Amino acid sequence: MNNLSHLDPRDVFGYFEKICSIPHGSGDMEKISSFCMDFAKKHGLWATRDEANNVIIKKPASKGYENAEPVILQGHLDMVCQKEPASSIRFEEDGIEVLVDGEFIRAKGTTLGADDGIAVAMMLAILADNSLSHPPIEAVFTTDEEIGMIGAKAMDMAVLSGKRMINLDSGNPAIVTVSCAGGSDLTAFVPIKREQRKGTAVSLSVKGLKGGHSGTEIHKGRVNANLLMGRILHHLSKTNAFSVISVFGGDKGNAIPVSCTAKLLTSDPDGLSLAFENYAGIVREEIRAREEGFAFDAEILEAGAFAALDDAAFGKLLHALILAPNGVMEMSAEIENLVETSLNLGILKTEDDKAVLSFALRSNKKTAMAYLEERLSAFFTLMECPVETGGHYPPWEYNKDSVLRQLYIEKYKEKTGKTAEVQAIHAGLECGVFADAIKGFDCISIGPLHFDIHTTRECLSIKSTKEMYEIVCRMLETLK
């Protein structure tokens, strides 16, 4: 392992190297949490750890800042563990081998974990440096962010007295994030009755669509494979006789599905296949400018008797697929080009007695999020389809009077000569959990430049990390 301490006199990189040596994949938080507690003890700082292994370390104000409001610094302890096929690493036992590659830090054959290890390193460096001028600091190290913000949701926010928070979980210093979406999962169940019917099975597939993240890419006009299959089946039902045996598309609620396959039963497999190919070809021409990889195929399978959806069940499923709301619902009136509210049908599957439709709902406004959930529930209730909701996480709403936002823009320009872009994202951040619990909350999300997170190509800019650390220190110095 390279020695990184020489890269920064405040030893941000030395702490990062130490973090990399400790196993800290999501779900494996004990060792890294203990490291943070030992750090606090070594430096004589108050610290607490909860049952979720979240750690809070408090540092008193430096001289002259005793009356200043506390500032929360926040990042998460867990990383996404991915490795190349040739790597022999055991993430539960081995550390990450870090390498200096020119202007970047990389890992040998694995993810680097700069998301969010570099935030943890910067926070430790600030806590360790008694030469800095700063208000009271509450450093919050949350756990299992990558698998659902589990630590932040479990944390008792009453331990915190600060209302101003600098989240260090972003990856471009030229952008200051000021709002994020909240969300929930809604699953609808279309009751199915099946009948034994005879005929020839035909498999129809749509595939090769771009897909993408259902938050950050929902506005890009990418075609949802599940909805496209609903459109095609609706069209075919007007000219061809068939029954549905099964439909399956997508495997994650928060991903725009890239493929969907329907297994149908018909007495005219050639005619159904031809009708499908003709209409899918028309659709291809329609969407080719935005879905250049779209493909489709029809395969005639075996003849026999199959348990197919009865006509009532097929009609109800078809209506759900062509009428349920999906995609962008509202754009923000406060932040230009921000999707404020959306939903995505990420999973479609048929089981023996029901069809399952799983939606991911998002909004940067709490009330809009609640209304969207009510609207979708009302739609399926009218169709006599039960629904279940869960996975709720709150939004972080835009604060037009944010002191931290203006201060970061000022310090970033002083350091770089450039103006930072203000951004809101249509995806979740832990900031939303804190915003929901702390009244009068003022927050920004920032971080040094790093690329290809969650992949073995992940890399962290050394120069940007130094600049970000200095900017955060200058912000703390200003917050009297």
Find the length of the chain.
Answer: 480
List all residues 6 or more positions away from 158 whose beta carbon is below 8 Å from its beta carbon: none
User: What residue spans define the domains of the chain?
Assistant: 5-181+396-478, 184-393
Average pLDDT, the chain: 96
CA distance 63 to 208: 61
Q: What is the pLDDT of residue 9?
A: 58
Alpha helices in 192-297 (DSSP H): 225-237, 269-287
What separation in angstroms does the CA of 423 have from each of 170, 213, 269?
Answer: 11, 17, 52
Give 219: exposed, middle or buried? Use CB within 10 Å, 0-12, 13-18, 19+.
middle
Query: For 194-210, what is each residue's pLDDT tens digit?
Result: 999 999 999 999 999 99
Segment 253-260 mean pLDDT? 92
Q: Can you name the CATH fold of 184-393? A: Alpha-Beta Plaits (3.30.70)
- Reported confidence tier of residue 216, pLDDT bands at 50, 70, 90: confident
CA distance 365 to 380: 23
Residue 31 sits at φ, ψ, to 5 deg, of -70, -45
Q: Taking each helix axis from N to C terminus, what angle separates 12-20 and 114-128, rounded to the nearest 10 degrees?
A: 130
Q: Can you name the CATH fold of 5-181+396-478? A: Aminopeptidase (3.40.630)
Segment 439-456 mean pLDDT? 95
Segment 335-353 mean pLDDT? 95
Name the residues annotated as catalytic: 78, 145
Query: For 34-55, what is each residue's pLDDT tens digit?
Result: 999 999 999 999 999 999 999 9
**pTM for the predicted model, two decimal places:** 0.83
